[in-house]
C-alpha cells in the first residue's frame, strides 16, 4: 500500500512537473533555509517518552509563545520504535504510542507545528532500537505516510558503512517519498560532514553530545560529551561551511535545565550567533518564566534567523573575554562580548580603535568612522558608537548588541 502510494506520487510528480517545482532529486530546498527551531525529547526525557508527553509539549509550544517565536518542530528522538512488521515496515511502540504516529502528526499539525522523528543509519539506534540500514526507502515512505516533517539521523551501529554514502542514501529515500523533510544529520562531526554534506543534509552535528555544564568534558568511554564552552571552541574553522540550507549544528539546547541564569543567556546567545539550530531540550511544560523569556527573546532569535545566514567569528580575545561578530542582512551586525571566566569583568570597548572585516562573507565595518546605533538584546539599553562603550560582563555571561548603520 505504502509502496503503491509512493510510486503513484512519483509518477504524478513526473506528469505534473510544474507542481513539483523544486525538482525531484537531491535534498529538499524548501526547508532548512534558516536554522531550524523546535523542541526535542532527548535532553530531558531520553527513552522515557510517549504520545501524551509529545502532545503536551506541542500544547506548551503554543501556550508559552514559543511556536509564535519560531519553534515549530516537535521532535521525537530515540526510543519511539516498536518492531518491524513481517514486510519490514517499522511500527511505533504500541505501548508508548498507542494512537500511532499518523494521529500524532495530525494533532501536531492542527496546532500549526511540524513533527520530527529519529532514526539511525546503522542496524540499531544509539538506544538499541531498529535502525534504518537496509530499510531506508521503506522507512522514508513510512515517515511520509505518517506526515513526518523532520528526520534526525544518527550514527550508531554503523560498522562497515561509509557516512557519505549512508546519508546520501537516506536523502534520496526521503526525496523518493515525496514529502519535504528537514534532514538533520547526527554523526557528531566524525566524518567531517561540513566538507561533503551541503547537498545532503540541512544541518550536521559538529560535536559529541552536549552536557549540562559551562566548561567541562564528560567522558563516556569511547566518546565524550561537552559543556557550552568546549562545544563553542570545537567550531573553530567550520563557519565557512555553513549557510542557508546547511548549518553547523552545535546540538540541542540545555537552556532551563540547571545552568545559571547568566550561563543560560550566554548559551542561547552563542547558539544564536553561531547560526546553530535552536532546538529546546528542557521540559517546556514546566519551565520558569525566566527560561521562557530566554527562549523567546525575539531579538536574539532574529540574529540566529537572519537572512544573510553567516555564522559569527571571534574577532578579538582579551584574556577571558571573547568578542564575536556576526554580519547581518542590510549592513547590520550582531556583537557578543562573552566572559568565559568566573568573575565579572568591567570592559571598555573603543569603537574607533576596532574595524572588523570578515574574510568569509566579505562584510566589514568601521564602527568608529560611521556611527551605528545599537541595542543591547538582553537589557534593552540603547546607544551609539560615537563614544566608547563601558560595560560589565557578568561571570559566564554575555553582552549582546545589534548594530544598525
Ligand atoms: C546520540 C545523539 C543524541 C541522541 C541519542 C539517542 O547520542 O547524538 O543526540 O539522539 O543518540 O540515543
Domains for the chain: give ranges and CATH numbers. Answer: 2-304 (3.20.20.70), 313-404 (2.60.40.1180)
The ligand 1 atom nearest the CA atom of 205: 8
> How many residues make up the chain in this entry?
405
Chain centroid to CA 65: how far? 19
Residue nearest to atom 1 of ligand 1 (CA): 126
Q: What pLDDT, on a 0 to 100 scale, did the predictor assign at position 3?
A: 47
Q: What pLDDT, on a 0 to 100 scale, did the predictor assign at position 190?
A: 97
Verify whether ligand 1 is closer than 6 Å to residue 253 (CB atom): no
Helix and strand element counts for the chain (H, E) = 11, 22
Q: Is 4 helix (H, G, I), strand (E, B) or coil?
A: helix
Verify whether ligand 1 is closer than 6 Å to residue 254 (CB atom): no
Stretch 282-309: mean pLDDT: 98
The ligand 1 atom nearest the CA atom of 186: 8
Q: What pLDDT, on a 0 to 100 scale, did the predictor assign at position 24?
A: 77
What the block records as the C-alpha cell of 241 is 561551511
Determine the residue of 46, 78, 130 to mutate for testing ligand 1's pocket, defined as the one with the most ligand atoms within 8 A of the Cβ atom: 78
CA distances (Å), origin 80, targets 5, 83, 91, 125, 190: 24, 10, 9, 11, 25
Q: Which residues pair with 349 in a beta bridge?
A: 389
Contact 54, 76 (CB under 8 A): yes
CA distances (Å), origin 308, targets 36, 240, 277, 339: 15, 13, 15, 26
Verify whether ligand 1 is closer than 6 Å to residue 78 (CB atom): yes
Confidence grade of residue 23 (pLDDT, cut at 50, 70, 90): low
Asked whether residue 20 carries a pLDDT value surpassing 90, the answer given is: no
Asked whether residue 21 carries a pLDDT value surpassing 50, the answer given is: no
User: How many Å lie between the centroid of ligand 1 and the Cα of residue 126?
Assistant: 6
Asked whether residue 158 carries a pLDDT value surpassing 90, the answer given is: yes
Strands 203-205 and 247-249, by their bridges, are parallel
Asked whether residue 18 carries a pLDDT value surpassing 80, the answer given is: no
Residue whose C-alpha is closest to residue 365's, from 394, 404, 316: 404
Asked whether residue 274 carries a pLDDT value surpassing 60, the answer given is: yes
Confidence grade of residue 324 (pLDDT, cut at 50, 70, 90): very high
Higher pLDDT, 241 or 222: 241
Verify whether ligand 1 is closer than 6 Å to residue 77 (CB atom): yes
Catalytic residues: 154, 209
Q: Is 90 helix (H, G, I), strand (E, B) or coil?
A: strand
Residue nearest to atom 11 of ligand 1 (CA): 126
Determine the residue of 126, 152, 156 to mutate for testing ligand 1's pocket, defined as the one with the most ligand atoms within 8 A of the Cβ atom: 126
Stretch 273-286: mean pLDDT: 99
Amino acid at each position: 500500500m505504502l509502496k503503491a502510494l509512493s510510486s503513484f506520487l512519483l509518477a504524478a510528480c513526473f506528469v505534473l512537473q510544474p507542481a513539483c517545482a523544486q525538482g525531484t532529486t537531491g535534498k529538499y530546498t524548501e526547508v532548512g533555509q534558516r536554522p531550524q527551531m523546535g523542541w526535542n525529547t532527548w535532553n530531558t526525557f531520553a527513552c522515557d517518552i510517549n504520545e501524551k508527553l509529545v502532545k503536551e509539549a506541542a500544547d506548551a509550544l503554543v501556550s508559552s509563545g514559543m511556536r509564535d517565536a519560531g519553534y515549530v518542530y516537535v521532535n521525537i528522538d530515540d526510543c519511539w520504535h516498536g518492531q518491524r512488521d513481517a514486510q519490514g515496515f517499522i511500527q511505533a511502540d504500541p505501548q508508548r504510542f498507542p494512537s500511532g504516529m499518523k494521529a500524532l502528526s495530525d494533532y501536531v499539525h492542527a496546532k500549526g507545528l511540524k513533527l520530527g522523528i529519529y532514526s539511525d543509519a546503522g542496524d540499531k539506534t544509539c538506544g538499541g532500537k531498529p535502525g534504518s540500514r537496509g530499510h531506508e526507502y521503506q522507512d522514508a515512505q513510512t515517515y511520509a505516510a505518517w506526515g513526518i516533517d523532520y528526520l534526525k539521523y544518527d550514527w550508531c551501529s554503523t560498522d562497515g558503512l561509509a557516512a557519505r554514502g549512508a546519508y546520501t542514501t537516506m536523502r534520496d529515500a526521503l526525496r523518493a517519498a515525496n514529502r519535504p523533510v528537514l534532514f538533520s544529520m547526527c554523526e557528531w562531526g566524525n566524518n567531517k560532514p561540513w566538507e561533503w554534506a551541503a547537498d545532503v543534509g540541512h544541518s550536521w552535528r559538529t560535536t559529541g553530545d552536549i552536557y549540562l555544564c559551562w566548561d567541562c568534558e564528560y567522558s563516556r568511554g569511547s566518546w565524550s560529551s561537552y559543556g557550552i564552552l568546549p562545544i563553542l571552541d570545537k567550531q573553530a574553522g567550520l563557519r565557512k561551511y555553513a549557510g542557508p540550507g546547511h548549518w553547523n549544528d552545535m546540538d540541542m539546547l540545555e537552556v532551563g535545565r540547571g545552568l545559571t541564569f547568566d550561563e543560560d543567556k550566554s548559551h542561547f546567545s552563542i547558539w544564536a550567533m553561531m547560526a546553530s539550530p535552536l532546538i529546546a531540550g528542557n521540559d517546556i511544560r514546566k519551565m520558569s518564566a525566566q527560561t521562557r523569556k530566554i527562549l523567546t527573546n525575539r531579538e536574539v532569535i532574529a540574529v540566529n534567523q537572519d537572512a544573510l545566514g553567516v555564522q559569527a567569528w571571534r574577532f578579538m580575545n582579551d584574556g577571558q573575554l571573547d568578542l564575536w561578530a556576526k554580519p547581518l542582512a542590510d549592513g547590520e551586525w550582531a556583537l557578543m562580548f562573552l566572559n568565559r571566566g568566573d568573575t565579572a569583568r568591567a570592559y571598555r570597548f573603543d569603537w574607533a580603535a576596532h574595524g572588523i572585516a570578515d574574510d568569509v562573507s566579505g562584510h566589514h565595518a568601521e564602527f568608529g568612522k560611521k556611527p551605528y546605533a545599537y541595542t543591547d538584546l538582553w537589557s534593552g539599553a540603547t546607544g551609539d558608537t560615537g563614544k566608547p562603550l563601558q560595560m560589565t560582563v557578568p561571570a559566564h555571561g554575555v553582552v549582546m548588541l545589534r548594530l544598525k548603520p
